[in-house]
Amino acid sequence: MADYKMEAAKAAIKLIQPGQTIGLGAGSTIAALLALLAAEGSLAASLTLVSSSFKTTSLIREYGFNVQSIALTKSPDIYFDGCDQFDIELNALKSGGGIHTSEKILASLAAEFILIGDAGKFVNKLDATYPLVIEALPAALQLVQYQLFNHFPDAKINLRMGDKKDGAAISDNGNMLLDVYFTKLIPLDELNVLVKMVPGVVEHSLFYRMATRAIIAGPEGVRIMK
């Protein structure tokens, strides 16, 4: 079977110019892009790389490249990231990894935010297949759960558990993660604002109208959506 993630990564690397500052998200498509960059050697060595996750940062270092901290990054030329699902307006749901806060910071800083992925992730309209992931301050856990329940009584709200037997998952920022499973999504403009307004919510994983382009690879080849 064709490796569509690799095909999308090959199209992505063509958009990178020597000397640029490039932000990288997380996941297997980004890992494919990084492997291509490492193979190019001189291009990668000319870039300033910024990462939104601990895992991607480790991978970049394993390839022998430096990573600039997000806090010191003014404006990446391009931020590339994968997603779980995206739609015709380039709205995206992300963050199986619970790292959407850093991803949104980089996506917002960047001159271009380009989604890359296989065609299976594309839908006309985002649906309730994937949960909305919410990063919440630990002290606000009860409040956030209570207010989410009031806003979305039909949704299932799960505190994400960690790898250890009894511990909750902790985000890279030291916060809690809630996975909200909807039966049906409310209009995205409302969802985007409503969840963000709950005190103690650091960030949620709906990327509403943030991406500027998407590179999609599938059986019909690679296409770029704007």
Contacting positions for ligand 5RP (CB under 6 A)? 25-29, 81-84, 94-97, 99
Phi/psi for 194 (5° steps) reads: -55, -45
Nearer to ligand 5RP, 96 or 218 (CB): 96
- Minimum CB separation of residue 94 from ligand 5RP in Å reads 3
Closer Cβ to ligand 5RP, 22 or 147, answer by number:
22
Active site residue 89: no
Active-site hit among 103, 112, 203, 220: 103
Strand 176-181 and strand 78-81: the pairing is: unpaired
Q: Sheet holding 85-86: strands in order across?
A: 85-86, 92-93, 206-207
CB of 171 to ligand 5RP, least distance (A): 11
Cβ-closest residue to ligand 5RP? 27
The CA-based dihedral angle spanning residues 114, 62, 172, 80, taken in that order and rounded to the nearest 10 degrees: 0
Of 34 and 144, CB closest to ligand 5RP = 34
Least spacing, CB of residue 48 vs ligand 5RP, in Å = 21
Residue 82: partners with Cβ closer than 8 Å, 6 or more residues away = 5, 25, 26, 27, 28, 29, 30, 94, 115, 116, 117, 121
* Residues in contact with 190: Cβ distance below 8 Å, sequence separation at least 6, in sequence order: none
Residue 91 C-beta: closest distance to ligand 5RP, Å:
13
Measured from the CB atom, the residue of 154 and 163 that comes closer to ligand 5RP is: 163
Residues that are catalytic: 103
